[in-house]
A and B are shown apart, each in its own frame.
Chain A
Amino acid sequence: MAGWYALVVVALMLAGFALARGRAQSVAGGNYAGMHSLPSYHGLYTASLAFIPALITFLVGSQIAGYLATQSALSALPNDIQSDILRQGAALREAVNIVRGGPVGAASAEVQSAAVNYASALSAGQWITLAVGVLAGLAGLSWGLSRVSMNFRARNAFEKLVHALLWICATIAVLTTVGIVFSVVGETYRFFFDPAIKGKPTVFEFLFGTEWNPQAAMRADQGDIQTAYGFLPLLTGTLLITVIAIAVAGPLGLFSAIYLAEYASPGVRAVAKPILEILAGIPTVVLGFFAALTVAPYIRGWGETFGLNVASESALAAGVVMGMMIIPFISSLSDDVINAVPQSLRDGSYAMGATKSETIRQVVLPAALPGIVSAFMLAISRAIGETMIVVMAAGLAANLTFNPLDAVTTITVQIKTILVGDQEFDSAKTLAAFALGFVLFFVTLVLNFIALKVVQKYREQYD
């Protein structure tokens, strides 16, 4: 039905375009210079006027048709099913499955008649929607046609419609973000304050607790493992790995950017830059087993020669490989901003008798600082949000430690661990993932805010 609807609407739009343009051409009689808008603008405007009411009718009509079909299916069901929410839902799903030809068991007579009701109501609703949509589209079309004249400003009117379209797209993007935030905030609120959830921590215990163990003892023989939701070990683990990653990627990325932008010949640059960017395209799961199978044993062996006790899954291994992952973010973006520093500033410095490295250190890098800071912030956000490398290389043990040779875990890894497998969404353990997600979101938001402020402070220092 939706396919037919789309076909009819497209036909309406094409007809509207052709009719309005034809009428505009005949109104102008060849005198296009005396006309406010060219005929094709009249065509576009009329086509839009046909499209908009048809689209609105479809969106509203399909919702109403669905609702009415459900109601009519319900009326066929006996009273005892109607009053029980769970059984009602099951019966409705069964009826819809019958209509769609899906897998059905031996359905009762009531469900069969509900399915018949549902199918006929839905079909009627859809036909009515189609008819109303075509009428609305025709109405828009004829109104558009009636406005075609020498002086009608179709060009400006169409501009307004484009403006509205762009506004709607931007609004959808913003609303999506808002929706995600609200869903996370809602579940986080339930985690902390819903009295129906058992074994949940207070906000204070969550933020300042030093032990993380969401998995309660299931059976008596598992010992007396206490459930604990202390968030601190995850925070320190996340920070530790992020700091190691930045310590690796910061110097490597920035220095390779300086080399590429200032010293490399065009030939070297043309080869080296794409190769660096390929590094950004390696799936993190591949980097993860590189970390777990190559880097971690190497670090362990290296530590043993110094008599150090290195965990086979260590923060250092995960951090180093994560550093590798974010090098391209830093090097590629920094390279772009360094290239954007005007040549006149470099010339000014060379003309003062400065060497190349003095010029880079004292003129180019300070001028490129805002862009370099935002490159670092993007890289840090990536490192904080990264999951797979840590899962594979740093383990799951929530140790409260700053020793990079120990196993640690991060916020994202715990979210993933909690939500893997079959879950019920009314236990403290599952909801804890939303609280973690909220904290993670908050941390990256603060980082982005800081980056924005830094960039604003130093922006437009050169023109």
Chain B
Amino acid sequence: MDMRPDPLIMMTTPAQAPTTTPTKVAANNVNVYYGAKHALKDVSVDIPEKSVTAFIGPSGCGKSTFLRCINRMNDTVASCRVEGLIQIDGKDIYDPALDPVQLRARVGMVFQKPNPFPKSIYDNVAYGPRIHGLSRSKAELDQIVESSLRKASLWEEVKDRLNDSGTGLSGGQQQRLCIARTIAINPEIILMDEPCSALDPIATARIEELMEELRHNFTIIIVTHSMQQAARVSQRTAFFHLGILVETGSTSDIFTNPTDKRTQDYITGRFG
């Protein structure tokens, strides 16, 4: 096997305490409208690099909407309008000079329902590298596919059937395939929109372990309905309610010592 250093591993830095890491994504007074509906109101938040940040809150509170602003997926919704400033590494991502297609290559996304393409497992993972020309040879592409599947801890299960259809895998495997597909293009940020809500507890546990490994290389932002999941996987948590970012802080603070009454009510299960 080719033993060249893996580009993903090369950029690994030692894990740092979340509070001291530099800011990756910074949002200032972000407002989002769907037609006349004001979905997100004056959201300002800093998201640190190489850590897991969880967005929690009741259904319809705007957390998924905010997530989809970070890779400009809301551009595909005709009625959606975004105001305010969102920066990645200090650069405005809504700058007209910036190509959203290139932005999405840097900001990957995993969806609520696993959505593998109706192609082979290999082609699913090779999709992004082929589009972005990340490999110069078949051997190099093989290498990227293998290392991505290994990082998504799926390699051992599928290495003998890479040419089978990706849609034939189980739900949990499909979701890990989608994660492998996302990390194959080596993004800086991975957005996860309730990635475990369609999975059973065992598959969920595997994805959560995976996030713990991935956070050393990637900035991960996860939207979740499960407060236990937020507590298990994230270093920082932001609580959204009715389109307002109520409170943000380290996960341990939010869950043990919330400052806002609404946060306290939500995490103790009084509403939502």
Residues of A within 8 A of B (CB): 342, 344-355, 358, 362-363, 366-367, 461-463
Closest chain B CB from A216 CB (angstroms): 58
B residues 181-198 touching A (CB-CB < 8 Å): 181-182, 185
Distance between Cα atoms of A354 and B73 in the complex (Å): 12
**Nearest 8 CB-CB pairs, A to B?**
A353-B105, A461-B118, A351-B109, A344-B115, A353-B104, A348-B115, A352-B128, A462-B118
Neighbouring B residues of A355 by C-beta, 8 Å: 101
Option from A349, A350, A463 in Cβ contact (under 8 Å) with B117 = A349
Q: Is B57 an interface residue (CB 8 A)?
A: no
Given A347-B111, A350-B76: 7 more A-B contacts, CB < 8 Å:
A344-B115, A347-B76, A348-B115, A348-B117, A352-B108, A353-B104, A367-B117
Give the nearest-CB partner of B123 in chain A: A362
B residues 84-134 touching A (CB-CB < 8 Å): 101-106, 108-109, 111, 113, 115-119, 127-128, 131-132
| CB–CB A362/B115 < 8 A | no
Known: A348-B117, A462-B167. A353 touches B131 (CB 8 A): yes
Distance between Cα atoms of A247 and B48 in the complex (Å): 56
| CB–CB B104/A351 < 8 A | yes
Give the nearest-CB partner of B103 in chain A: A353
Give the nearest-CB partner of B109 in chain A: A351
Neighbouring A residues of B109 by C-beta, 8 Å: 351
| CB–CB B73/A347 < 8 A | yes
Give the nearest-CB partner of A458 in chain B: B118
Closest chain B CB from A351 CB (angstroms): 4
Pairs A–B under 8 Å by Cβ, sample size 20: A344-B113, A345-B118, A347-B76, A350-B73, A351-B108, A351-B182, A352-B104, A352-B105, A352-B127, A352-B128, A352-B182, A353-B101, A353-B104, A353-B128, A353-B185, A362-B131, A366-B117, A461-B167, A462-B118, A463-B167
Interface of A, helix, strand, loop or mixed by DSSP = helix
| CB–CB B118/A353 < 8 A | no
Neighbouring B residues of A462 by C-beta, 8 Å: 118, 167
Distance between Cα atoms of A351 and B118 in the complex (Å): 16
Neighbouring B residues of A346 by C-beta, 8 Å: 76
Distance between Cα atoms of A268 and B113 in the complex (Å): 32
Q: Is B153 an interface residue (CB 8 A)?
A: no
Distance between Cα atoms of A362 and B113 in the complex (Å): 20
Distance between Cα atoms of A355 and B76 in the complex (Å): 12
| CB–CB B102/A353 < 8 A | yes
Option from B115, B131, B178 in Cβ contact (under 8 Å) with A358 = B131
Residues of B within 8 A of A (CB): 71, 73, 76, 101-106, 108-109, 111, 113, 115-119, 127-128, 131-132, 165, 167, 178, 181-182, 185
Closest chain B CB from A463 CB (angstroms): 7
Neighbouring B residues of A461 by C-beta, 8 Å: 118, 165, 167
Give the nearest-CB partner of B71 in chain A: A351
Neighbouring B residues of A463 by C-beta, 8 Å: 167
Neighbouring B residues of A351 by C-beta, 8 Å: 71, 73, 104, 108-109, 111, 182
The CB with the most chain B CB atoms within 10 A, among A350, A358, A362, is that of: A350
Distance between Cα atoms of A358 and B132 in the complex (Å): 11
Option from B106, B108, B119 in Cβ contact (under 8 Å) with A366 = B119
The CB with the most chain A CB atoms within 10 A, among B71, B106, B118, B167, is that of: B118
Closest chain A CB from B68 CB (angstroms): 9
Distance between Cα atoms of A329 and B230 in the complex (Å): 52
| CB–CB A367/B115 < 8 A | no
Neighbouring A residues of B103 by C-beta, 8 Å: 353
| CB–CB A363/B117 < 8 A | yes
Distance between Cα atoms of A462 and B166 in the complex (Å): 10
Neighbouring A residues of B185 by C-beta, 8 Å: 352-353
Give the nearest-CB partner of B129 in chain A: A352
| CB–CB A345/B115 < 8 A | yes
Closest chain B CB from A405 CB (angstroms): 43
Give the nearest-CB partner of B105 in chain A: A353
Option from B101, B108, B118 in Cβ contact (under 8 Å) with A354 = B101
Give the nearest-CB partner of A355 in chain B: B101
Distance between Cα atoms of A462 and B71 in the complex (Å): 25
Distance between Cα atoms of A350 and B101 in the complex (Å): 7
Distance between Cα atoms of A441 and B71 in the complex (Å): 55
Neighbouring B residues of A363 by C-beta, 8 Å: 117
| CB–CB B167/A350 < 8 A | no
Distance between Cα atoms of A254 and B118 in the complex (Å): 20
Neighbouring A residues of B132 by C-beta, 8 Å: 353
Give the nearest-CB partner of A266 in chain B: B78
Closest chain B CB from A23 CB (angstroms): 55
Distance between Cα atoms of A366 and B185 in the complex (Å): 22
Give the nearest-CB partner of B116 in chain A: A348
Distance between Cα atoms of A352 and B134 in the complex (Å): 13
Closest chain A CB from B109 CB (angstroms): 4
Distance between Cα atoms of A350 and B103 in the complex (Å): 11
Known: A353-B128, A366-B119, A461-B118. A348 touches B105 (CB 8 A): no
Option from A348, A353, A362, A366 in Cβ contact (under 8 Å) with B111 = A348
| CB–CB A352/B115 < 8 A | no
Neighbouring A residues of B111 by C-beta, 8 Å: 344, 347-348, 351
Distance between Cα atoms of A346 and B115 in the complex (Å): 9
Option from A347, A350, A352, A367 in Cβ contact (under 8 Å) with B118 = A367
The CB with the most chain A CB atoms within 10 A, among B76, B103, B106, B182, is that of: B76
Give the nearest-CB partner of A460 in chain B: B167
Distance between Cα atoms of A347 and B109 in the complex (Å): 9
Give the nearest-CB partner of A362 in chain B: B127
Neighbouring A residues of B108 by C-beta, 8 Å: 351-352
| CB–CB A345/B117 < 8 A | yes
Closest chain A CB from B255 CB (angstroms): 30
Closest chain A CB from B11 CB (angstroms): 18
Distance between Cα atoms of A331 and B102 in the complex (Å): 32
Distance between Cα atoms of A79 and B116 in the complex (Å): 84
Closest chain A CB from B245 CB (angstroms): 23
| CB–CB B181/A366 < 8 A | no
